[in-house]
């Protein structure tokens, strides 16, 4: 009697109906759809999924979410879907980029080969940008430019856009599922990770350079968002000659 092949477990994050249908068409695959704004529901399964697929990004903050996913699923392959313009007068397509963990797993290559069979996907209305795309993009741009200012806050960003404080807060919560303070803190920690990895600065210097007036709050935030102490992260980062 032939051995029954186990179903490939796929978690689809923020994937549209079109993408879910394509994933579900794969043989021996079981797809679970979740939303990134429900981050509290992301817990390591036993066993872990075989693949995590991240849908087309509506806003330019994908790096933050990927870092958080890597903490939860350190060895699971990630597939990042992105919109790509084919040419004038032609419809966009959805292409994929794989991110593999550093631990050896022979099943990874089989998973990649299987998923490649359905890529690229045709674009669809579900991947269209939100009406608030421009506002969120400007918020991220301003935070990236001014994150080192410890006095940066929602009021200052709202004044620069310009948009009311109340409306901006509502847009961020509706579109991203986070508050301005959470977004600012996450972007600062992402910048801090790059600076710590360079080993050019002490932890206190990094905290100050990325906009944390309180180094203790920086340490607590770093641990909460990365799962490591800042000193542990710095010492574990490879040296580049």
Residue spans of the domains in the chain: they are 8-127, 133-236
| pLDDT score for 186 | 87
Q: Is the pLDDT score of 1 beyond 50?
A: no
| pLDDT score for 14 | 83
Q: Is the pLDDT score of 3 beyond 60?
A: no
Q: Is the pLDDT score of 109 beyond 60?
A: yes
Q: Which fold has domain 133-236?
A: Arc Repressor Mutant, subunit A (1.10.10)
Mean pLDDT in the chain?
A: 83
Whole-prediction pTM? 0.65
In sequence order, what are the residues at sequence separation of 6 or more whose Cβ sits closer than 8 angstroms to the Cβ of residue 93? Answer: 83, 84, 86, 120, 121, 122, 123
Q: How many helices (H) and strands (E) does the chain have?
A: 10, 6
Top-tier CATH class for 8-127: alpha beta
How far is residue 90's CA from residue 227's CA, in Å, rounded to a whole number? 44
Domain 8-127 matches domain 133-236 at the CATH topology level: no
Mean pLDDT, rounded, for 102-125:
82
Mean pLDDT, rounded, for 161-173:
91
| pLDDT score for 125 | 67
Mean pLDDT, rounded, for 38-53:
69
Mean pLDDT, rounded, for 111-122:
89
3-state SS assignment for residue 201: coil
Q: Please report which confidence band the pLDDT of residue 61 belongs to, taking 50, 70 and 90 as the band edges.
A: low
Q: Which of 71-85, 198-212, 215-229 has the lowest mean pLDDT?
A: 71-85
Q: Please report which confidence band the pLDDT of residue 241 belongs to, taking 50, 70 and 90 as the band edges.
A: very low
| pLDDT score for 92 | 81
Q: Please report which confidence band the pLDDT of residue 221 belongs to, taking 50, 70 and 90 as the band edges.
A: very high
Nearest to 116 by CA among 77, 69, 85: 77
Q: Is the pLDDT score of 76 beyond 90?
A: no
| pLDDT score for 22 | 92
Q: Please report which confidence band the pLDDT of residue 35 belongs to, taking 50, 70 and 90 as the band edges.
A: confident
């Amino acid at each position: 009697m032939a051995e029954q092949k186990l179903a490939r477990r796929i978690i689809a994050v923020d994937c549209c109906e079109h993408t879910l249908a394509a994933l579900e068409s794969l043989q021996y695959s079981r797809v679970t759809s979740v939303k990134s704004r429900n981050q509290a529901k992301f817990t390591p399964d036993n066993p872990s999924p075989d693949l995590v697929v991240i849908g087309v990004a509506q806003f330019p903050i994908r790096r933050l979410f990927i870092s958080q996913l890597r903490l939860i699923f350190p060895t699971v392959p990630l597939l990042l879907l992105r919109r790509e313009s084919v040419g004038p007068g032609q419809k966009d397509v959805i292409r994929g980029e794989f991110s593999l963990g550093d631990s050896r797993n022979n099943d990874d290559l089989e998973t990649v080969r299987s998923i490649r069979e359905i890529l690229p996907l045709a674009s669809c209305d579900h991947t269209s940008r939100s009406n608030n795309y421009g506002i969120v993009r400007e918020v991220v741009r301003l935070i990236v430019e001014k994150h080192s200012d410890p006095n940066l806050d929602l009021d200052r960003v709202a004044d620069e856009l310009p948009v009311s404080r109340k409306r901006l807060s509502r847009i961020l919560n509706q579109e991203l599922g986070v508050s301005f303070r959470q977004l600012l803190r996450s972007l600062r920690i992402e910048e801090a990770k790059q600076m710590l990895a360079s080993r050019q600065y002490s932890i206190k210097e990094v905290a100050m350079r990325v906009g944390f007036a309180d180094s203790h709050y920086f340490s607590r935030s770093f641990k909460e968002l990365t799962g490591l102490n800042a000193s542990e992260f710095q010492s574990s980062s490879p040296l580049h000659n």
